[in-house]
Chains A and B, each alone.
Chain A
Amino acid sequence: MSTPRSSASSPDPIPHKSVTLAPSLGMRDPEEDSDSTPSRMSEDDDCSGGGGGGGWTPDLRGGGGRWAPPDQVLEIVLESVLEFLTAARDRNAASLVCRSWYRAEAQTRRELFIGNCYAVSPRRAVERFGGVRAVVLKGKPRFADFSLVPHGWGAYVSPWFAALGPAYPRLERICLKRMTVSDDELALIPRSFPLFKELSLVCCDGFSTRGLAIIAEGCRHLRVLDLTEDYFHEEENEVVDWISKFPESNTSLESLVFDCVSVPFNFEALEALVARSPALRRLRVNDHVSIEQLRCLMARAPRLTHLGTGSFRSEPGSGGTSSVSELATSFAASRSLVCLSGFLDVNAEYLPAIYPVCANLTSLNFSFASLTAEEIIPVINHCVSLRTFWVLDTVGDEGLRAVAETCSDLRELRVFPLDATEDSEGSVSDIGLQAISEGCRKLESILYFCQRMTNAAVIAMSENCPNLVVFRLCIMGRHRPDRITGEPMDEGFGAIVMNCKKLTRLSVSGLLTDKAFAYIGKYGKLIKTLSIAFAGNSDMSLQHVFEGCTRLQKLEVRDSPFGDKGLLSGMNYFYNMRFFWMNSCRLTAKGCRDVAQQMPNLVVEVMKEHPEDEGETDTVDKLYLYRSLAGPRNDAPSFVNIL
């Protein structure tokens, strides 16, 4: 058993000692890697505790008027009070007070958040929590998004659905991230949960339009169907007309997001669906929707707040071609729009059509639109209220300067590369970053892909934007130093951790020595998520991180000169973390086995570089370890070796 980290009076969210209480069971946190609008799937923000209701007095008599013995009164009062607690850390803390609090909390927890589907068995979760209405489940490690986890690794939803079905007939909401869900499993939802209201699938795979059809048809109270960056692998002739399957009467739909379902669909059915969904506020369509069709949809749903605009290109149909001014009229009529995305195949000539809504926009996602600075500047100049902006680097430093000049309220910026290769030209640089830091002082979250960066710009950002919670800088060329001084990027990242005292998530890149990690360990006290790639000199880097970052929960490392010594320096801390991923470093099977042997509540998975390779090798290419109350999983494929 690990030595618990000493923390004097700070309210520690993760209980160290008690193995009986699953540390990973907590409440959801919003905002990680999903789409523009906070979609409740990430770990960057902290939800504060729920608000209490005013003017409520407890019914101390309990049970409808009959007198109840004092200890039961306490439980009833407790349950009533705990209903108001929504935040994970508050609930986890409450459950540790004593047995009756544990029971009361378990009965009143409405949302079950499982950050790692293998950390606890479904049966155990279901046995503890009786009144759950919403489940959030996360599966594969994040590096699976970058093809680093071989196909078939796991994260199947089936054992969970098998347990949730009988246990929670009143379940209303399911959110899955990086899990494999089949159509048959989706079919379980309407069968098991007659009150089902919200389904959100992020970066999931395994299902098709057939499963969507079942959901549409079977879940009569559906309010939310959000499909975000899921993997579809359907042939066009297999596609099912799922949109037609929604109930024929008025629906309760509030949100319909399917931009990643990039197959043709029945547009007339969608138009009719929108017309009979008076509560619809969020609609994001795929790239098979033209401007002319978009206008139809907007006319049917004038109260939309979030709109994914589809292709944003004219496809002349039977009604002819829409002009820019006609499209502008449609936007002018949508007075409630605050979030725009899509632009999946944009014809920039149509961009001025969105001017009528720009001043009210708080969120704008141009990250699939290859726009130049000239094309974007006139648009951005109107967007004075913008808080979230996603864009491609094609706009260049000049485009970013325009953002800095106009969007003084900006909180989140993401700049993606059009050409995501190491040798690409890269159109944004330290100049853009510097400009942003000067104009957007309230910035809280940034993701920035570039080819050229300087310490000076990063330091400037650390000084100008002290509210940064998320700092993810990706210098795409590996081991690239400061482009002006030739120095490593140590000082820049050091300044970030030093000056941004609220920082909880950090991704580093560029040429980095152990010094950078010494800074991170020394100052990064609130860091929960750290991503390291092609960085560091020696195992000291890892040691600095483990010893210094007392709040560390998720650590991802790739292609860095760290070996067994670095791994072992984390031994005392692994139980406090959700997981540790390490690939293409210098680990050996022996080092990994040492960890596995000494830590019984850790699952240590090693994967071969090439799944087809036979036999044992001494070096370990991929290591994924995570704390778990469930022990080694029984669904691991042959290329996964659980030590």
Chain B
Amino acid sequence: MASAALENLKATELRLGLPGVEDDSPAPATPRGSKRGIADNKEEEAKTVTAAPAAKAQVVGWPPVRSYRKSCFQQQSKSKPAAEAPAPEKEEAAEAPPPVAGSGSLYVKVSMDGAPYLRKIDLKMYKGYRELREALEAMFLSCFSSGSGDAAAVNPADFAVTYEDKDGDLMLVGDVPFQMFMSTCKRLRIMKGSEARGLGSSSKE
């Protein structure tokens, strides 16, 4: 399909700079939608009055997809151009704000071997690996020490932080520049140091 071809083209595009460093180019202006069968003056008028400014800022509540559903795909949707911000940001607060914030967040799930349940963190909150690691330690160590009285048994150094990238491969966190990591990381997994050796082979069945 044409759109898939476009995607591939973009991926192989030669650029200076590492992948993951986005240039905020707006969506390609395709000819679709601009061709009109009828030249209707009233219709033109209607467009200029009711439609947002020509550059098509995001309109509140359009397309009509419930915020519950939208928040589930927050990290998968294209990052919206920050330039056109005013209209959506000015909107009335949604009935109850969805758990995932607006276009400026990148939530990933974090699992830890042995921990009772998953957590979610926003990668955009961290400027680099060190902050990320500190946050993870704070989050997960507390859940261990509150369970058993055995705080000494849990040593952060025993654990390795890994992540699953876009291709589903398990990678060790810290090998690539942070920005690149942010754009390819789909989920995080904290595992025992011993298991993290020999990473590079696929983790799939």
A contact residues vs B (CB 8 Å cutoff): 140, 143-151, 153, 203, 205-206, 229, 231-233, 236, 260, 262, 264-265, 267, 287-288, 315-318, 321, 323-324, 344-345, 349, 367-368, 370, 396-397, 416-427, 449, 451-452, 474, 476-483, 485-488, 511, 513, 531, 533-534, 536-538, 558-561, 584-586, 610-611
Contacts and interface: CB of A to CB of B under 8 A. Distances in A.
Contacts of B58: 421-422
Contact of A145 (B7, B59, B67): B67
Interface string B111-132: 1011011110000000000000
Contacts of A586: 49
B60 interface: yes
A353 to B, nearest CB: 11
Contacts of A318: 114
Nearest to B111: A315
Contact of B78 (A150, A421, A585): A421
Contacts of B205: 321, 323-324, 349
Nearest to B80: A421
A141 to B, nearest CB: 11
Contacts of A537: 40, 42-43, 46
Interface of B: 1, 3, 6-7, 26-27, 32-33, 35-38, 40, 42-43, 45-47, 49-51, 56, 58-70, 72-73, 76-78, 80, 90-99, 109, 111, 113-114, 116-119, 204-205
B176 to A, nearest CB: 23
B37 A487 contact: yes
A481 B61 contact: no
A639 to B, nearest CB: 8
3 closest A-B pairs by CB: A146-B61, A264-B117, A231-B96
Given A206-B96, A267-B117, A427-B1, 19 more contacts: A145-B66, A146-B65, A203-B68, A231-B98, A267-B116, A344-B72, A368-B72, A416-B69, A420-B69, A421-B58, A423-B78, A426-B3, A449-B63, A452-B32, A476-B62, A477-B32, A481-B33, A513-B43, A561-B49
Nearest to A427: B3
B118 A288 contact: yes
A345 B94 contact: no
A560 B49 CA distance: 9
Contacts, number: 189
A422 B59 contact: yes
Contact of B33 (A147, A477, A531, A558): A477
Contacts of B68: 203, 229, 231, 260
A635 to B, nearest CB: 16
Given A151-B94, A534-B50, A610-B90, A474 B64 contact: yes
A159 to B, nearest CB: 19
A474 B94 contact: no
B42 A538 contact: yes
Contacts of B64: 145-146, 474, 531, 533
Contact of B38 (A265, A418, A488): A488
A148 B65 CA distance: 12
A135 to B, nearest CB: 22
A516 to B, nearest CB: 12
Nearest to A315: B111
A561 B73 CA distance: 33
A479 B66 contact: no
A423 B27 contact: yes
A147 B32 contact: no
Contacts of A585: 50
A321 B119 CA distance: 20
5 contacts: A147-B60, A419-B73, A421-B58, A451-B32, A478-B59
A420 B114 CA distance: 36
Contacts of A324: 205
A422 B38 CA distance: 23
Nearest to A426: B3
A534 B62 CA distance: 10
A417 B73 CA distance: 10
B56 A422 contact: yes
B102 to A, nearest CB: 11
Given A416-B69, A422-B58, A611 B116 contact: no
